Amino acid sequence: MDCCICTSMPYMLRPPRKMICETCYDGANNLKEVLSKPETIDKKGTNKGNNSQPNSCKSLMDVWRVVNDIKSGCDNREERLKFLSEFVAAFRDKIHPDILLKPSNDGPPIPAHKALLAVRSVVLKNMLDSEHRLKAPPTEMETLSELKHDELETLLEFLYNGVLSEEKMKRHVYALSLAADKYYIPYLRKICERHMDRSLCLFNAMNILEIADVCSYTVLKAKVLAFFVENLMELVHSSDFYVWSLKNPHLTVQIMRTMATDSKNKRF
């Protein structure tokens, strides 16, 4: 059937020229249904003061208005995020730092700003608010002994910018997870958990299970335990499993219990 919507050459259509195919018809109805739901409009961040009200998509023109409002809201958010993320220039260009953060290895200390650290982490705020800190010099030094230089630099980049490249997340996700847990940075915890969830495979399952246990990622830990049971032969015969199991005997027991429970459920 000729369709005036999806055809690449509408001028060649035979009369009637305003017919649409079944696929376009179903797509238009589905789009109207989705955009008519109040929760869909709220999640997209449309302005409550505009003319787009819940359940108001009666025609494709109404759909266009709602989509246009959503696009405007997304554009405004992108501009706001860009404006807020420009504070990373203060970190990158070392503009008026008032604290030096020293990593665990022999790397050089990294300049930072107390105000931002305090806003991003309540634990760091309490550290900086302690009585002896109030009497410290303007550019005092604090050692974060659990982080190497590149890990600390990556953590600070996230605290200033709120985002990291996929390459840096892949390289430092375990260290970032531990730092997010220790210094209570909930947003970073979520980012790390999602990254590990997406990247779970035979090569990193043991590391992810260990981090999930230490950082109390309950949902992720359950998923990795199930993954262990599904791929038990490959994992237990890997070269790293023996050393890992000696280091994490409690997790080895939990794997065996999960395997036993799974076997019992399948039996019944």
Segment 218-230 mean pLDDT:
95
What pLDDT does 52 receive? Answer: 44
Centroid of chain to Cα 111:
26
Q: How confident is the model at residue 112 (pLDDT cuts 50, 70, 90)?
A: very high
List the structure tokens of 243: 């050393």
For the chain, what is the HEC assignment? CCCCCCCCCHHHCCCCCCCCCHHHHHHHHHHHHHHCCHHHHHHHCCCCCCCCCCCCCCCHHHHHHHHHHHHHHHHHHHHHHHHHHCCHHHHHCCCCCCEEEECCCCCCCEEECHHHHHHHCHHHHHHHHCHHHHCCCCCEEEECCCCCHHHHHHHHHHHHHCCCCHHHHHHHHHHHHHHHHHCCCHHHHHHHHHHHHHHCCCCCHHHHHHHHHHCCCHHHHHHHHHHHHHCHHHHHCCCCHHHHHHHCHHHHHHHHHHHHHHHHHHHC
Between 129 and 111, where is the model more confident? 111
pLDDT digits (tens, 9 = 90+) for 63-88: 777 777 777 777 777 776 666 666 77
Q: For residues 252 and 254, what is the distance between their CA atoms, to the nearest angstrom? A: 5
60 contacts 92 by C-beta, under 8 angstroms: no
**Nearest C-alpha neighbor of 6 from the set 28, 31, 24, 29:** 24
**Nearest C-alpha neighbor of 142 from the set 92, 183, 90:** 183
Half-sphere exposure of 191 (CA within 13 A, CB side): 23
Segment 221-234 mean pLDDT:
94
pLDDT digits (tens, 9 = 90+) for 117-127: 999 999 999 98
148 contacts 172 by C-beta, under 8 angstroms: no
Segment 147-154 mean pLDDT:
94
pLDDT digits (tens, 9 = 90+) for 24-61: 888 888 877 777 776 554 544 444 444 445 556 667 77
- Name the pTM for this structure: 0.69
Between 62 and 184, where is the model more confident? 184
What pLDDT does 102 receive? Answer: 92
Q: Give the CA radius of gyration of the chain.
A: 27
End-to-end alpha carbon distance in the chain: 53
Q: For residues 90 and 116, what is the distance between their CA atoms, to the nearest angstrom? A: 11
What pLDDT does 234 receive? Answer: 92
pLDDT digits (tens, 9 = 90+) for 160-192: 988 899 999 999 999 999 999 999 999 999 999
